[in-house]
Amino acid sequence: MNPIALDIRSLAKQFGAKVAVNNVSLQVPAGSFYGLVGPNGAGKTTMLSMATGLLRPDAGSALVNGIDIWADPHAAKATLGVLADGVRQFDRLTGRQLVTYSGLLRGMDREEVAIRTEDLLRVMDLTQDGDKLVVDYSAGMTKKISLATAMIHSPNLLVLDEPFEAVDPVSAANIRDILNGYVQLGGTVIVSSHVMDLVQRMCTHVAVIADGVLKAQGTVDDVRAGKSLEERFVDLVGGRATNEGLSWLRTSSN
């Protein structure tokens, strides 16, 4: 049985009257490629923020490689790489400077940081853009340089919130290759995404969250139960609209 890379225990968070995350417990096996899916506003980002030490929960705990993220954040975060959705980078640095800064911030040796920075720029296909300011990067380039900053210290666990959002197909394919290689080398990846087909093809495990409640978790095959993941997702989450009442929506030639 694999050890648990991320152990979420009864996490809860409320903003005013809005319950964002409602007593969610979730275990992510080490070495898995774990997908987290849910509608907009389902609580995915809030849950991941609490699990990675970015947002303090109202209740519950999260263990990263067996270390409580809130009881010992320094030790837990040393084994963790995070790409948070909507968090701005220091985009007035060049790509090379940003990755270097991230490594030095982790207390790494300067020579090792320099070697790893060039390796990461190469695999991200950013070597030629390493001296360009991040503010001038495309959305795909920004995602890739952000991923590089999350990987510079060789973490055991990567938590990536919407890493493929606004990313072109070529950059998305490159990112998938990098993440697959990372998992094959023994790492664990958690990725939130709205793209069901991508999660079904890429991930080994998946969890479905809606209205702050965990609807299902397990291997992708177990959760989809013989259906496509998209069909199963709709079954679990509901809310599918119909086109009734749109009989007027037709071309003028009809």
| Cα 132 to Cα 128: distance, rounded to the nearest angstrom | 9
Cross-strand partners of 200? none
Fill in the amino acid letter for 82: V
**Under-50 pLDDT residues of the chain:** none
What pLDDT was estimated at residue 167? 80
What pLDDT was estimated at residue 2? 64
What pLDDT was estimated at residue 250? 72
Nearest one of 218, 213, 163 to 191, comparing CA atoms: 163
| Cα 28 to Cα 5: distance, rounded to the nearest angstrom | 6
What pLDDT was estimated at residue 240? 66
What pLDDT was estimated at residue 175? 87
- For the entire predicted model, the pTM comes to 0.89
- Domain parsing of the chain, residue ranges: 1-79+156-219, 87-154
> Sheet containing 157-161: which strands, arranged edge to edge?
80-83, 157-161, 188-192, 33-37, 205-210, 213-219
Spell out where 31-164 has E strands.
33-37, 59-64, 67-68, 80-83, 157-161
What pLDDT was estimated at residue 53? 95
Instruction: Name the token pair of 248.
Output: 């007027």
Nearest one of 233, 166, 203, 190 to 82, comparing CA atoms: 190
What pLDDT was estimated at residue 97? 98
> Model confidence over 23-59: pLDDT tens digits?
999 999 999 999 999 988 889 999 999 999 999 999 9
Superfamily grouping for domain 1-79+156-219: P-loop containing nucleotide triphosphate hydrolases (3.40.50.300)
